[in-house]
Structures are given as structure tokens and as C-alpha cells.
Structure 1
Amino acid sequence: MMRETDFFFNNPHEHRVCDEQRFTTRLQHNFCTYVDKNQEQLLLHEAANNPVTFEFQYNHVKSSRGFRAVFDQYGYDRALEMFSELLNNGRGSVIPDLCYHDPENITHNRLVVEVKCGSTSPYSIYHDLRKLRLYTDPEVLNFQTGIFLHVLSPNIDPIISVKNWVSRNPRSVPINTPNYDELRNNNYIATPAPVFGISYYIWRINNPVFGRDGFFNTNCIEEIEINSNSFDGSCFV
């Protein structure tokens, strides 16, 4: 349902630009419109005797307090240990670009999307994929579907880009990153691959195509399924 004006706008210099924040806002609007029209077919609601109201949220903070409220101590300690660079030892938060879930209970989660537009650093891709690992982990947030959506992505495959980044030493990690020294100096780095039996997806749109009716042609999306074997190699743990 998206149109070319949802992807691009002309800046004051008349250059066609795909802005990440503007695109994500338009994406949220289109998701909401689609879901409202197709609720029964999508089976997005629980049984009538246990209704759940799902909402789309943009840049929604899932704080450490929110994690602690829904996990037992073992589950919370496990999340802190496995995703220390995201949760920052209980002082951090996890912010998905776009999510569809029950905001009253972060264990009722349906869809999470991380968005990047244009060229971005391999570390930024890795960081988003790590968040997708956390979101889709059945013992953490248990999102049913996770997508890394890269619009106007460079030619290099994001998996190769991340592998190249982790193989370099010292690591090119932004200095304000939590656990900067650990990431930069450690020979191994936590894998962005999901747990065994779980998948999430990379959707690349290198050249958006629009039909005669003006709507985006989804056939131009390149889909890559990420599973537990996608980031095998000596650099990951």
C-alpha cells in the first residue's frame, strides 16, 4: 500500500532523499491501515474469552524495569548475561524502530522491525541484528516475526558486511558504545544469529519499483532468512 512519496521526498536542493525517520513513520501508518482492514484473516486477536488489544508502536522503549516486571529472577539474569551490551547491566533499554504487540504485557509480541535507509556502518547492522536476536528469543521477548528492513542498501550483503566487521582487529566500535573496550579488544563477539529453531529476516530493497497504480511492488524485496547457522565462524560465540 506504500507509494513513492512514502519512500522519497525532495529536499531543498531538489535531491530525492529516503529519510529513515520519515520512512518508518509512513511504514507504521501503512501497517496500521492494512491490519485494520484484515484483522480476521490475520488472526491477530486471542480467543473471545481472552481478548488482547495489540498496538503498533514506533521507537518504543522496553526498559529494564519492564523486563524485570515480567520475568522471574532466572529469566531476567539470563537476559542481562546474554544481552549485556543492549541492557547495559540493568541500566539500559531496548528500543525497536517499529513493533506490534500488547503494550500492557511485553510477552504478547507479534512483529518487530528494525529499519535502515541508505549506507550504514557494519556495526549499526550488527547492533540491529543483535536486537532481533533478543526480540525473537522464545525465553526473552518471543516476537513471532522479526525483520531487518534495509532500503537503498549497498551492494554488499549485510551478513558479509557484519562478518567482515567482526574479523577486523581492533574492532571499529563507536567509543560511546556500552562495553566499548570489551567489544573492541575481545577476539570473539556475541553472535546476532537467533537461537536454534528460530528465524528472523533481512528484507533488502535496493531499487524500489512502483506499478502503474503508483503502489510499491513487493516483488522487488530481496528476502534473506537468518537462522542459527547464518553467522557461523571463529569470530562469533
Structure 2
Amino acid sequence: MDEFKMLDTFRQALGQMRQGDFFQGAPGNPFRMTESPVTERISRAFETALRLQERPADIALHYDYQKNAPEFQNALGEDWPLVAERYIDLFANGHGSVRPDLCLHNPLNVTNNRLAIEVKCGSASGFKIYHDLRKLRLYTDPDGLRFDTALFLHIRGAAQGPIETLRRWAGSNPRRNINAQEFAAQLARADNLATPAPVQGAHYYIWSIPELMFNDEGTLDLACIQEEEIRHDYAFGDVFLNQDYPLQ
């Protein structure tokens, strides 16, 4: 299954979801949306769509699948120190982990896999968006995890969209709403930040759904998905240096 088939299958999976898959219908707040159950339902819809496609028997879809630093060290061998330094904001000096919300992969392989997806629902801080995009850079980095591609899906976020939210956060002084371990928070308060864009030769995607719309059959109208491909030269803003850590 190539990249475009994977993305189209994911798109069709979203197109089978209904209003009740997104909203929990809490008393007094019928349109309440919580990230974890929505992501789990997206996972189930994607798995159903994947069953209709031909795929290698060793490729599986996992929800909230943790990959930690020791696993990366074993898989990357002599390349691990370089990767750990470049993504020190994610690995926290070798003690961190990376947990894709959805992962289409061979569970026995840490690297050289298919598709990693990060999902955000509702308002998300600029730091959380930045953190997820940094993970997408790691996933698609040929010197890192070497996924074929990756995707950031933001559902009912701020009106300006995730990229503008990220730019406004990066340009604020001081930067607000940094909810992270102290080590990552210190890096995120620095004058300059490592780029969230993919490395040269790689790419990932940002899909935004500002408002959920449903067709006459009651399923998600795919026209409400705004899709953008992100490459290494994408202009996120002057604060971001076109490099990883350590910043020069």
C-alpha cells in the first residue's frame, strides 16, 4: 500500500464517521468532544477501511502505541546518539518516549514503517501543536524513524487553524501555555526554536477540520477537510531555525 493509498484509505475512514463518533453528548453540552475517545473511534474506522485493502500480513494499525528511547537505541545502533541529540526535546536526554496516536506499522520494527498520525481535538496550545509537528519530523526523518509519511489531524481547532496558532505562540513573549516536562519547557522558552518542518527530501501533511459537517446520509462530509502538504522549506516563522538541536 503506497502513501497515496494509505492517505485515501484514511480519508475514506473519516468519511464513514457520524456525528455521534465525534460528540459525547454530555448533559448541557451535546457537542462536547474529547480527544481520546474520538481518536479511538477514528482508529476503529481506519481499521475497518484497511480490511478492504490489500496490505502485507505483518502490517498492523495500533492506537496509542508507545515507542521509547531504549527501543530507538537498539534499533538505531550507532546512529542513536545523533538522533537523540537532534530530538532532545522529545527524548529528554534519553528518558523520553514517542507515542503516535495512530501508527500503521510492523510492530516488530521501530523504524522503516508506514504511517504515523497525531490527532488534536478542539483548542490546542501552540506548544502542543509544535510538539506534535516535531514528532512528525522525527517520524519522517530518513536518519530517524523513516516512516513513509505522517499526518497531523486537527478537528475543530481555533478559527485561524493550527499553523497560525503555532506562529502566534512562537511569536509571543513570553510564550504561554507550555504544558510539558521542565526540560522540554526550558527549550520551548528559548529565543529560537528547532524547526517543526520535515527534513529535506521528506514531507508530512496537516489536515484541519475547522467545523464538522455531515452529508444527507449522516456521515462526515469530506469537503470540510482542509489538506496541506508540508515540506522542509515551509515558512513557519522567523523564530524557527531550519535545523534541529543543538541550535547553532
TM-score by length of 2: 0.85
Deviations 1:25-59 (A, max 9, x none): 100001111111112xxxx32xxxxxx51111111
CA distance in structure 2 between the aligned counterparts of 1:63 and 1:72, rounded to whole angstroms: 14
Cross-structure match for 2:146: 142
2:237 paired with 1:227: no
Structure 1 residue matching 2:196: 3-state secondary structure: coil
* Residue-pair matches, total: 225
Cross-structure match for 1:207: 211
Q: For residue 122 of structure 1, report the CA deviation from its aligned partner.
A: 0.7
Return 5+ residue gaps in structure 1 as ranges: 46-51
Cross-structure match for 1:123: 127
Cross-structure match for 2:136: 132
CA distance in structure 2 between the aligned counterparts of 1:114 and 1:101, rounded to whole angstroms: 14
Identity rate of aligned residues, in percent? 39
Cross-structure match for 1:93: 97
How do 1:33-52 and structure 2 match up within 5 A? 33-39=48-54, 44-45=55-56
Structure 2 residue matching 1:17: 3-state secondary structure: coil
How do 1:65-214 and structure 2 match up within 5 A? 65-73=70-78, 75-172=79-176, 173-174=178-179, 176-184=181-189, 186-214=190-218
Q: Would the aligned equivalents of 2:112 and 2:148 in 1 still touch at CA under 8 Å?
A: no
Q: Which moved more, 1:82-91 or 1:160-169?
A: 160-169
RMSD: 1.6
Deviations 1:168-225 (A, max 9, x none): 23333336342433331x2211110000121111111112222222221212100121
- Letter of the 1:35 counterpart: L
1:233–1:119: structure 2 CA closer, same or farther, 3 Å change rule? closer
Query: Which segments of structure 1 move beyond 4 Å, counting only runs of 4 or more?
Result: none
Structure 2 residue matching 1:200: 3-state secondary structure: strand
Cross-structure match for 1:24: 39
Q: Would the aligned equivalents of 2:161 and 2:208 in 1 still touch at CA under 8 Å?
A: no
Q: For residue 114 of structure 1, report the CA deviation from its aligned partner.
A: 0.7
